[in-house]
Amino acid sequence: MERLGKNRGVADLESPADSRKSLYSSFVWTDYKAQLQKRVRAEDLPKYFQLTESEKIGIQETIRLNVGTTPYYLSLSDPNDPNCPIRKMIVPRREESFFSPEETLDPLHEEDLSPVKGLTHMYPDRVLLFSNHECSVYCRHCMRGRKVSDSSERMETADLELCFDYIRNHPEISDVVISGGDPLNLSDPKIDWILENLEKIPHVKICRLGTRNPVTLPMRITSDLCKIIESHNTDRLSIFCNTQFNHEKECTSEAKEAILKLLKAGVSVGNQCVILKGINDDGETMLRLHRKLLELRIRAYYMYDPELIPGSRGFRTPLAKGIQIIEYMRGKVAGMGIPQFVNDLPGGGGKVSLGPNWYLGFHKPSRNHVFRSAVRGTYHLSPEPINSEYEEFYPEISKETWSKILQNSYSAFKGLGPLGESGK
């Protein structure tokens, strides 16, 4: 038998497909703990992908967070296609090695808005609880790369108790978002303890779990975990879940099984996707994703504009892309399948919603509002109520625009109707 030379190893002998088969058969696939133990690290990526030069540079020189993926999420990726959307979220690329001038570690100023370690208080009635620094998969677009996969950011029990004390002492807080890292990477007893503490605070009425495990490690959503969540999902505390599916390839039967378990525990599930260059930055891809999400019984919540985090230039898209995507989706899927396009403002300004300009303005002489139909592109008139005190509030439509659209407009009368005619 030929001996292996110094520079030869398993990766030289096995194809990525063969290496994947060996990995997948080496443990019980449905055991989430084994999935985590078998996570693929940066040094393992050459075994499972035919890497491009850009990916090799990205792995060696990334300024982002650590590399890691579960075998399950790896199985959704293509070992040979560098344009595979899942692969782009797993494997660093050359763009990750650049710290661009517009980028910063904490663009949302979460640390400045942190009264105690692990807690961000940006909105008066809400706080974000950073429960855990670990994730099942370290997504390359992660907006908290400064904290995730960094052991110095570990939240000990004493740290969490200080967070609970702060929440107890601030009765205006009614909503706690548990994030991380991924809170569902904590043990069942730790999750039980956190939810129990929140449930005991009288003014906390809502708890939102921010987790990507239904996407990256759906077998983590066990019956035991759901029993714990359900036991705290009471008349005192309403528990929701927000996850992040970014591409239809992530909408698997395993993911649907995980979502159904959460729903049966009384937990409503919403999705917060991120527009990512070359992955989902077009209307048709986003439409297919959100149709799939409805099949999984997940309602659309947010579609984020990417954050200005280090090494993220390769993922960021023009602001207009998000507006175009929403415009494309409207009328092609039910409203509960259309997310709000939001920009989480740099500098801690919070979220603002953006969208196509369906409203053209107010025509004072006829007292009509003018809209553009998302479905047909036609113009439609809606009158302001009699004796309204808000007529000065609305932007006025120009005479030129009014003259241009008047003969092709529709009202409640199916044609122009009396108000439209009076405005000639």
Binding residues: 135, 139, 142
Residues contacting residue 157 through CB under 8 Å, at least 6 positions apart: none
Q: Bridge partners of 304?
A: 274, 342
Q: What is the Cα gyration radius of the chain? A: 25
- DSSP annotation of 186 reads S
Residues contacting residue 107 through CB under 8 Å, at least 6 positions apart: 307, 308, 309, 346, 347
Strand order of the β-sheet with 379-383 is 359-363, 368-372, 379-383, 409-410
- The two tokens of residue 242 are 């927000």
Q: Where are the alpha helices (DSSP H) in 44-104?
A: 45-48, 53-61, 71-74, 85-90
Question: Which residue from 38, 12, 11 is spatially nearest to 24, judged by alpha carbons?
Answer: 38
Please report how the helices 157-168 and 188-199 are oriented relative to each other, as an axis angle in degrees rounded to 10.
20
What residue has token string 């449930």?
Answer: 199
For 244-324, list the strands marked E by DSSP.
268-274, 299-304
C-alpha distances out from residue 205 to 107, 226, 231, 276, 317, Å? 29, 19, 15, 34, 36
The amino acid sitting at 223 is S
Q: Bridge partners of 409?
A: 379
Q: Would strands 40-41 and 68-69 be described as parallel, antiparallel, or unpaired?
A: antiparallel
3-state secondary structure of 73: helix
Rounded CA gap, 350 and 184, in Å? 25
Binding-site residue ranges for [4Fe-4S] cluster: 135, 139, 142
Rounded CA gap, 220 and 36, in Å? 10
